[in-house]
Amino acid sequence: MPPLDPRLSPRQREIERIRRAITVWLHPQRVLAATTALAQIVDDFHPDVLLIEPFAAAGAIVAEKYDLPLVVIGRPAQLPKPNHPRHLPNPATPFVEQLLDAAHIAGRYWDLDRGTPRSPQLHIDFFCREWYADLKKIASQTIFCGGIPGAATPLDLPPDPRPLLMVTLGTTFANDESFFRIAAESSLLSVARPILVTGRRAQKLLDHLQEAPPGPAILREWVSYDKLFPHLAGIVHHGGVGTTHAALIHGIPQVVVPHAGDQYPQAARITQAKVGYGIRSKDFTMDNAPLILADILWDPEFRANAKRMAEAMSQLGGYKRAADAIEALHS
């Protein structure tokens, strides 16, 4: 998608980010085309079970069409919402209902209240139960597998005594130059060394940052999390599940500026677990950001809490426990 218009107000930017997220995730023509392609693979491969990540809409549709057991990886299964007049409709739900009608299925593998896939068989989540303290009840088909970081390796960067802080917006939301500049300048003011990772889909953004770099920031199109994360003192990002998870298993304090979807509850959980801050995009400004970053970098409580969370997640078995659960489902 094209870059966000810099003239938009913070509120307008927030609305546009939500619209973009739903458009990318549940675009009817693209999802139905993916459904057709995936069905051809199922016809050829004859799987016993179908594994999807929480935003693989085509996978949930195909699993229902072929009556295959479904495993949702990356999100716990929640109980149905009780009927209540104060519950606001999820903006994704009309798009899901449109897809279900077009695919001629009932939605057996969908949580329509929340607009996301839900399996009655198995959900595998790579966090820990403590992470979801805001969810009072989680359905019994969920298992928590945590995660274990790999061994640290030397980092190929010039030496610098300042703590290293990463800034990223993942892939879908990367075209937001203002965010990168605010984060980079705030990082420098908080006496940290920023590394900006723009993603491989945002070449214009990278070009602009290279033409007028924000101070001595390090600019990268892509990095290996396994190599970089053991060396980070902090991270600023959008709250994508992969980046949040990687920071947690490495014990890194985080600032999450959510843009859409499940990034908002991720940001709230960061604050709730006291491993950093979740900040609305309209509040991530040059007035606030330097103080926020200085807090997560220099207050030892954040680092201690992040290390404790990493230890809790390392005790849950990681991908080996997940594999055992999937095999048990088929046995």
**In the block, which residue shows the tokens 């677990």?**
273
Check pLDDT > 70 for residue 75: yes
- CB of 298 within 8 A of CB of 253? no
* Single-letter residue type at 100: L
- CB of 160 within 8 A of CB of 226? no
Round the average pLDDT of the chain to a whole number and report it. Answer: 90
Number of other residues whose CB lies within 10 A of the CB of residue 80: 11
Determine the 3-state secondary structure of 42 from DSSP. Answer: helix
- CB of 192 within 8 A of CB of 167? no
Query: How many residues are recorded in the chain?
Result: 331
CA angle 134, 139, 145 (to 5 degrees): 80
- pLDDT per position as a tens digit, 202-236: 777 878 888 888 888 899 989 999 999 999 999 99
Strands 116-117 and 110-111: antiparallel
- pLDDT per position as a tens digit, 94-139: 889 999 999 999 999 999 888 899 999 999 999 999 999 999 999 9
Domains of the chain: 10-144 (3.40.50.2000), 164-314 (3.40.50.2000)
- pLDDT per position as a tens digit, 164-207: 999 998 877 677 888 899 999 999 999 999 999 988 777 778 78
